[in-house]
Amino acid sequence: MGDLIHTLPAVTDAARVIAGVRFDWVAEEVFAEIPLWHPAVDRVILIALRRWWKTPCATGTYEEIAKAVADLRVSGYDRIIDAQGLIKSAAVARLARGPRCGMDRRSCKEPLAAMAYQERYSVAKRMHAIDRVRTLFADALGYSLPHKQFDYGIDRALFEKPNLRQPYVVFLHASSGPAKLWPVSNWAELVRRAEQARFTVYLPWGNQAEYERAEVIAAAGTSAEVLPRMRLHELASVLAYSSGFIGVDTGLAHLAAALQVPGVTLYTATSPDLTGTRGPRQTCLKPANIPEKGAVGENPCIGRAKSGADCFGTLSVEAVWTCLQSNMNKTALRPL
């Protein structure tokens, strides 16, 4: 999800500079609706590389792959841009018809991917992912990179106001790895802080373990609620109309930032310097022992099987809640 959201500002740049430019976008099936939230995107071509790889002999897999290939080749494109720079994304790009563009081997995440491109561009690795993709699009499409504040370009009118108790904040407590989590006791204390400030807290979840975690956190207060299982569009609506969010390193935090929701994202095991949430009224907080961008030394938290107190450092409940309040009090760029 993060890679998709990091590409949206580049699409906005191109749409502002090139009159009438339109995009088709290749996306994994679980996140396929995100590109269509941008007004410059006409069509999403569905792929399911993860599922196909895990179950290559499943019923319908061959037909799905054949359809994806046919969809990729139905049109000839002026430019095919691989924004990810991975071997798998480069392989998909080779199936489409048109000049293939991407980062050169020194710039790609996976250098071998550059062999698939006919036009290659040098993009500094020590830039945030959003800036890297914006630079790539500008080079590939032949315009000067705008220097003003970037815009994710999501059409927020697509999201209906949910029937939830206002005002409310959303706690994105779940992530893909244990080392990225924050202690349940800290979330529980945040629930109490939010209640004191007269906010309802809503807790989303995606699997049974996350549901059980959300139940424990919600039990810490009287106005915290676990949301029902929701589709991505429904979660986006909940985030879009919230007063703010606090999250760990997860795709939903990037989505909330793209929707211009005031927020704080906690990085307990990874550095936010290259891939952290970005946007107005956003703050990334990390422990003191996570190295800065380009620093030499091993992060003691990366690769941990379990999260531990040494990975939380200065991420105190007080600091996190104060930061969120500060961001919520800042003037919004544009209201819903």
What pLDDT score was predicted for residue 240? Answer: 96
What pLDDT score was predicted for residue 59? Answer: 82
Q: Where are the domains of the chain?
A: 2-141, 160-329
**Residue 306, pLDDT above cutoff 50:** no
Question: What is the mean pLDDT of the segment spanning 135-161?
Answer: 91
> What are the residues facing 203 on neighbouring strands?
226
- pLDDT category of residue 186 using cuts at 50, 70 and 90: very high
Question: What is the mean pLDDT of the segment spanning 171-176?
Answer: 92
What would the pLDDT profile of 270-291 be if each residue is shown by its tens digit? 889 999 999 999 999 988 755 5
Q: Work out the angle between the directed axes of helices 184-196 and 317-329 (0-180°, nearest 10).
A: 40
**Residue 305, pLDDT above cutoff 90:** no
CB 191 within 8 A of CB 217: yes
Domains 2-141 and 160-329 share a fold: yes
- pLDDT category of residue 199 using cuts at 50, 70 and 90: very high
Query: Tokens 């005031």 appear where?
Result: 262
What pLDDT score was predicted for residue 295? Answer: 41
Closest C-alpha among 230, 193, 235 to residue 319: 193
Regarding predicted confidence, which is higher, 320 or 147? 320
Regarding predicted confidence, which is higher, 7 or 305? 7
What pLDDT score was predicted for residue 314? Answer: 59
What would the pLDDT profile of 44-75 be if each residue is shown by its tens digit? 999 988 888 888 878 888 898 999 999 999 98
Distance CA 288, CA 125 (A): 23
CB-based contacts of 53, cutoff 8 Å, min separation 6? none
Task: Give 286-290 contacts, CB < 8 A, sequence gap 24+.
Answer: 286/313, 286/315, 287/311, 287/312, 287/313, 287/314, 287/315, 288/313, 288/314, 289/313
Q: Average pLDDT, whole number, for the chain? A: 89
What would the pLDDT profile of 203-261 be if each residue is shown by its tens digit? 999 999 999 999 999 999 999 999 999 999 999 999 999 999 999 999 999 999 999 99
Q: CATH number for 160-329: choose from 2.40.50.100, 3.40.50.2000, 3.10.350.10, 1.10.3720.10.
A: 3.40.50.2000
CB 219 within 8 A of CB 211: no
What pLDDT score was predicted for residue 313? Answer: 53
Question: What is the mean pLDDT of the segment spanning 11-33?
Answer: 95
What pTM was computed for the model? Answer: 0.89
Query: Tokens 């995100």 appear where?
Result: 34
CATH architecture for the domain at 2-141: 3-Layer(aba) Sandwich (3.40)
What pLDDT score was predicted for residue 292? Answer: 53
CB 279 within 8 A of CB 257: yes
What pLDDT score was predicted for residue 146? Answer: 81
Question: What is the mean pLDDT of the segment spanning 163-180?
Answer: 92
Regarding predicted confidence, which is higher, 311 or 281? 281
Question: What is the mean pLDDT of the segment spanning 300-305?
Answer: 42
Query: What whole-number percentage of the chain has pLDDT above 90?
Result: 76
